[in-house]
Amino acid sequence: MEYKYIKNIKIWYAIILFLLYMLICFIMPTIINGEFNNKNTDVKNENELVFNNKIKLLLKESNTVVEIDLEDYIKGVLIGEMPVTYEIEALKAQAVVARTYTLFKIRNATKHEFDADMCDDINCCQAYKTKEYALASWDDSGENEKWAKLESAVTSTSGETITYNGELINAFFHANSGGKTENIKYLWSKAEVPYLISVDGKEKEFRQETKTFSKEEFKNLINSLVHNYNNNSTITILDYTESGRVNTLNIDGIIIEASTLRNLTGIKSTNFKIEESGDAILFHTVGYGHGVGMSQDGANQMALEGNDYISIIKHYYTGVEVQKNIY
């Protein structure tokens, strides 16, 4: 009897050991891996919702936020940022640039008011216009063909972005470089960014403008920086950037950056010459915009010469790749 009792204990002991072995070696790892897989799935879904679907767009004029499909937003940016009469390859380049700029900004910049991802202010984000606005603006017999062309530029590049070393770039762009694009270190970064260095602007024609101010008007514009400006004050250009733009100036003993002066006065470019004539100050500018990244006029010229949109992008952003659906 005692022997049978001991034998039963041994059997139960063996069963318990077997169950513990199964629990430790098979059941627990399955549960843990399942939890990790669920967490990873949640992260992926969250990223897809943020970057692969809708964005929240702040419309400044009405101070309202609309939720819009990313690719539809890019169509609206093309309407606002580039003439539909430009070559299709230039429009495709602009679509990829705008998409990259948007996703980079969503990932790296602070939210706008009302928790918006982007806004339609050109001085903050990118210009944006609706299809209805476009059709009303074109208002001609070819409006449907124009819309089809613009839509094709976006859909044919859907999901494509620009990367440097596998990461999204900050894809700045402007209207016309005036001959050479600007190195970003002279503007916002104060340091070299490998893909935003100065390159040939590729434009065939440069946009030129002369803007005239009376000395009183000029004084009012720069008063926040140069408090004692008067009719006897002097304006001296101190140095230039590698692209030929003005870098810094001395105005009545105060050193200011040309980009700051451009923002205060509204002149088209920091590629300028100054002429003083009596009570007037004249700024003769070449180019249009900050000059960093892709020149839109240059992109159109490259397209006219037979370059495709990827070649255009790789010219203006040094060492980059165009990839699909990396976000």
pLDDT of residue 53: 78
Find out whether 114 and 57 touch, Cβ atoms under 8 Å: no
pLDDT of residue 50: 45
Which residues are CB-contacts of 247 (< 8 A; sequence separation ≥ 6)?
186, 238, 239, 240, 241, 257, 258, 270
pLDDT of residue 33: 45
Please state the pTM of the whole predicted model.
Answer: 0.82
pLDDT of residue 71: 96
Domain limits of the chain? 54-202+291-324, 208-286
Strand-pair category, 208-214 with 321-324: unpaired
- Per-10-residue mean pLDDT, the chain, length 327: 45 56 50 40 38 83 93 97 97 98 91 88 93 89 93 97 96 97 91 96 96 95 91 93 96 95 96 94 97 98 98 98 83
pLDDT of residue 191: 86
